[in-house]
């Protein structure tokens, strides 16, 4: 017994040294612009680009982007509003709303898919740039942020001939896009006589990457970084497709002051006098009263026609969402067959797919951002986010506070104190990969400013030789604060830029 105790004590004493050794083996933190020779090719998978990611007649002289304003001129906007007003006068409010919804659907018509989940307008496709980015300098040169900033930085660091930028039709089924991603990965390996690539998946690109791993495995992937990705699903699609539209006055106040800071005094006055609360209650009554017009007129034929929207619904509410939107009918049967396959075979098996990939040698890192308000139109919007997606989803399950609030004492007490952010907003204990998940405060969605600390964190993970953790680099602790240029410092206990407000009652199980 004494011998056993001595062995255990020796192991415990050696653990710090073993940890230090592992950190060193992972490689130094990247924080300079030096060129790296003999690096693996890098594939960067873009997220959803709602304003320029789809094109009419791509590759022809008639090519133009699909966006709301390309579908209707200012004159068309005035005509649409006039028709709605005329209907209000002659036929009443419901007729006016029907006209307004029909006009909104016409604005987004370029995005719609058919009942099989294919582009409704055959002229509308994603963009395809299958070669390394040195063949497409206009695609990334001058890029200063988001994916373009990452591509620009990577081209400087590794050489543009070793960087591949995967763009695709983000509306479509993830398995369709995974086939194309596989072709790019194979091309990158062939071009450089490499056995593997490093890969960064951004936002919607996380869904495509997960589908790729589920179908093809990770033999070709050395390191994978999930950058603000949707691998773990989203609350916004899950709640809108189950009817949880909700306008919250606190969330609306923070969102509006974030987007329009010059009008903060106006929004503050509306908030403090209760006017903002009245407006939100009106919007909630409106959404309830005209639910059928909104859903049947625009949400279903446009947004719910896109396979990808269904495939980023959380697996545990996917069946509920289908029943809510489609009932017992067979509408969109072809689309549902595609999304069923992705949800049941890929999304529901996320943990198994990623664990298997790591057991086979793939290195993995997760980046999630927080402290920027989300669009205040659904139940979970008051919670921490990066302005686009929810922090708890990007981080694969963290406990999070509301924006401007703190975790409850019960939430803070979960797990070890080391996983609690100093500002009391995040508890990483419940993340699927808590030791491989970094949080950046005040960073935008898919934050990768050109040659920023954030970008260098991505490169540090990609260039590691062994699995890095949040303890690997002193430069990059688990919880970091970003300045306007995405330079990073450790988060402090300072409450930050949001005024303290009453806590918001949000069901964390939504």
What mean pLDDT do residues 452-456 have? 94
Residue 507 neighbours by CB under 8 Å, 6+ apart:
379
> Are 413 and 462 part of one and the same domain?
yes
Using one digit for the tens of pLDDT, what is the confidence trace for 148-188?
999 999 999 999 999 999 999 999 999 999 999 999 999 99
On whether residue 174 sits in a domain, the answer given is yes
Give the tokens for residue 104.
């909104």
Does residue 416 lie in a domain region?
yes
pLDDT at residue 442, rounded to an integer:
94
Q: At residue 80, does pLDDT exceed 80?
A: no
227 shares a domain with 79 = no
- Confidence at 72, pLDDT banded by 50, 70, 90: low
- Structural domain of residue 76, as residue ranges? 67-118
Does the residue 326 lie in any domain? Answer: no
Same domain, 371 and 461: yes
pLDDT in tens, 97-122: 888 888 888 888 899 999 999 999 99
Q: Is residue 398 part of a domain?
A: yes
Alpha-carbon span 446 to 368, nearest angstrom = 9
Find where tokens 């990770």 sit: 218
Q: Where is the domain boundary, 80, 95, 118?
A: 118
Q: Are residues 100 and 210 in the same domain?
A: no
Does 156 map to a domain?
Answer: yes
- Claim to verify: residue 165 and residue 191 sit in the same structural domain: yes
Task: Give the whole-number percent of the chain exceeding pLDDT 70.
Answer: 89
Mean pLDDT of 475-498: 87
Are 47 and 76 in a shared domain?
no
Rounded CA-CA distance 184/179 in Å is 9
Q: Among all chains, which residue has been given the structure tokens 């996983």?
A: 419
pLDDT at 70: 53
For residue 338, tell me if it sits in a domain: no
443 shares its domain with 470: yes
Asked whether residue 26 is assigned to any structural domain, the reply reads: no
Q: Verify that 139 and 100 share a domain, yes or no.
A: no
| CATH code, domain with 394 | 3.40.50.1820
* Residue 449 DSSP symbol: -
> Could you tell me if 218 and 72 lie in one domain?
no
Q: Contact at 8 Å (CB) between 47 and 170?
A: yes
Q: Could you tell me which residues come within 8 angstroms of residue 185 by beta carbon, excluding any fewer than 6 positions away?
A: 43, 197, 199, 212, 220, 221
| 465 C-beta neighbours (distance < 10 Å), count | 12
> Quick one: pLDDT at residue 107?
84
419/470 same-domain check: yes
164 shares its domain with 44: yes
Number of domains in the chain: 2
Assign 36 a pLDDT band (cuts: 50, 70, 90): confident
Give yes or no for residue 23 having a pLDDT over 80.
no
| Least confident segment among 77-81, 143-147, 275-279 | 77-81
Residue 181 belongs to some domain of the structure:
yes
Residues 375 and 478 in one domain: yes
Q: Is the pLDDT of residue 383 over 90?
A: yes
Query: How many C-beta atoms surround the C-beta of residue 17 within 10 A?
Result: 9
């Amino acid at each position: 017994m004494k011998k056993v105790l001595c062995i255990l004590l020796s192991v415990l004493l050696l653990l710090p040294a073993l940890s230090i050794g592992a950190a060193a083996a992972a490689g130094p933190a990247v924080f300079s612009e030096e060129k790296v020779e003999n690096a693996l090719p890098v594939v960067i998978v873009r997220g959803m680009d709602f304003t320029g990611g789809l094109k009419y007649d791509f590759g022809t002289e008639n090519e133009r982007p699909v966006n709301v304003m390309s579908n209707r001129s200012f004159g068309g906007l005035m005509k649409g509003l006039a028709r709605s007003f005329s209907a209000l006068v002659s036929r009443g409010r419901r007729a006016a709303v029907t006209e307004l919804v029909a006009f909104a659907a016409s604005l987004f018509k370029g995005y719609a898919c058919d009942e099989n989940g294919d582009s409704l307008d055959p002229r509308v496709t994603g963009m395809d740039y299958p070669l390394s980015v040195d063949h497409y300098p206009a695609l990334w040169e001058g890029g200063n942020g988001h994916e373009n900033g990452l591509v620009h930085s990577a081209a400087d660091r590794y050489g543009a001939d070793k960087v591949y930028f995967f763009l695709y039709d983000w509306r479509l089924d993830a398995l369709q896009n995974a086939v194309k991603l596989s072709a790019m990965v194979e091309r990158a390996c062939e071009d450089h006589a490499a056995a593997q690539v490093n890969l960064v998946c951004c936002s919607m690109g996380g869904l495509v990457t997960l589908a790729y791993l589920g179908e093809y495995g990770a033999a070709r992937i050395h390191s994978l970084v999930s950058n603000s990705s949707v691998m773990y699903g989203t609350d916004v699609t899950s709640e809108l497709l189950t009817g949880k539209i909700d306008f919250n006055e606190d969330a609306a106040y923070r969102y509006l002051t974030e987007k329009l800071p010059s009008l903060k005094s106006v929004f503050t006055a509306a908030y403090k006098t209760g006017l903002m609360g009245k407006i939100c209650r009106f919007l909630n009554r409106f959404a309830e009263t005209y639910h059928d017009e909104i859903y049947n007129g625009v949400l279903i034929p446009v947004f719910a026609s896109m396979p990808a929207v269904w495939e980023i619904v959380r697996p545990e509410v996917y069946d509920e969402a289908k029943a809510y939107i489609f009932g017992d009918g067979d509408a969109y049967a072809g689309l549902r067959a595609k999304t069923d396959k992705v949800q049941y075979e890929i999304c529901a098996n996320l943990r198994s797919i990623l664990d298997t990939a790591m057991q086979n040698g793939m290195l993995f890192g997760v980046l999630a951002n927080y402290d920027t308000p989300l669009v205040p139109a659904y139940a979970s919007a008051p919670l921490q986010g990066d302005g686009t997606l929810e922090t708890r989803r990007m981080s694969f399950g963290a406990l999070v506070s509301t924006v401007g609030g703190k975790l409850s004492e019960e939430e803070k007490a979960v797990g070890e104190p080391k996983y609690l952010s100093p500002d009391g907003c995040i508890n990483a204990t419940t993340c699927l990969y808590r030791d491989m998940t970094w949080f950046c405060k005040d960073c935008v969605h898919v934050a990768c400013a050109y040659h920023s600390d954030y970008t260098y964190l991505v490169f540090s993970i990609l260039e590691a030789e062994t699995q890095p953790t949040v303890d690997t680099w002193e430069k990059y602790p688990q919880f970091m604060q970003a300045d306007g240029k995405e330079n990073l410092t450790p988060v402090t206990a300072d409450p930050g830029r949001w005024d303290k407000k009453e806590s918001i009652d949000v069901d964390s199980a939504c």
